[in-house]
């Protein structure tokens, strides 16, 4: 259907909220035979592209949607419930907790969710951006290492 270059495919997969670099790096290494450095770089850089937009545009998007009653209620409930359940941990760990949350390569953790968490808990961009970047860098190292372990174990 689309004849896109493998590097572009990997970069796009890294940008997507469900796959992020957790899907992009294994795809690059196992499917496209890219080098470790190339897979890591494309995965991390692709995963960081949405971070800038998310951190800067989640606020304005929320503010616009709040003019609609259903969305206003949704955000009010979401923010209240989330802050009530997790604010103690955020107060205790702050940006370091955000690094850890983004770095752990599990489903529903990563840059996209990290941006949402930073926004919901009001972590300032000057703290949340470097924390998310560091988390993505660490997650990339973990995923790359795990991918090499699996690929070398299965294919050799």
DSSP string, the chain: -----HHHHHHHHHHSTTTHHHHHHHIIIIIT---HHHHHHHHHHHHHHHHHHHHHHHHHHHHHHTTSHHHHHHHHHHHHHHHHHHHHHHHHHHHHHHHHHHHS-STT-SHHHHHHHHHHTT--HHHHHHHHHHHHHHHHHHHHHHHHHHHHHHH-
Instruction: Flag whether 104 is in a domain.
Output: yes
Q: Which tens digits make up the pLDDT trace of 69-93?
A: 999 999 888 888 888 877 777 778 8
Task: Please say if the pLDDT value at position 154 is more than 80.
Answer: no
Instruction: Flag whether 13 is in a domain.
Output: yes
Q: Which tens digits make up the pLDDT trace of 38-50?
A: 999 999 999 999 9
Instruction: Flag whether 82 is in a domain.
Output: yes
How many domains does the structure of the chain reveal?
Answer: 1
Instruction: Flag whether 58 is in a domain.
Output: yes
Instruction: Flag whether 121 is in a domain.
Output: yes
Instruction: Flag whether 24 is in a domain.
Output: yes
Query: Residue 83's domain spans which residues?
Result: 6-155
Instruction: Flag whether 1 is in a domain.
Output: no
């Amino acid at each position: 259907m689309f004849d896109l270059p493998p590097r572009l495919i990997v970069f796009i997969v890294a940008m997507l909220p469900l796959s992020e670099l957790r899907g992009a790096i294994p795809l690059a290494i196992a499917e496209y035979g890219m080098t470790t450095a190339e897979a890591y770089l494309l995965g991390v850089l692709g995963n960081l592209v949405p971070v800038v937009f998310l951190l800067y545009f989640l606020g304005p998007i929320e503010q616009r949607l709040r003019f609609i009653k259903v969305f206003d209620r949704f955000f009010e409930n979401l923010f209240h419930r989330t802050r009530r359940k997790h604010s103690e941990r955020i107060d205790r760990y702050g940006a370091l907790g955000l690094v850890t949350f983004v770095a752990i390569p599990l489903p529903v953790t990563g840059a996209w969710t990290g941006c949402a968490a930073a926004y919901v808990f009001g972590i300032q961009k000057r703290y949340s951006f470097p924390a998310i970047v560091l988390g993505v860098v660490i997650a990339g190292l973990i995923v790359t290492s795990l991918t090499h372990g699996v690929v070398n174990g299965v294919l050799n």
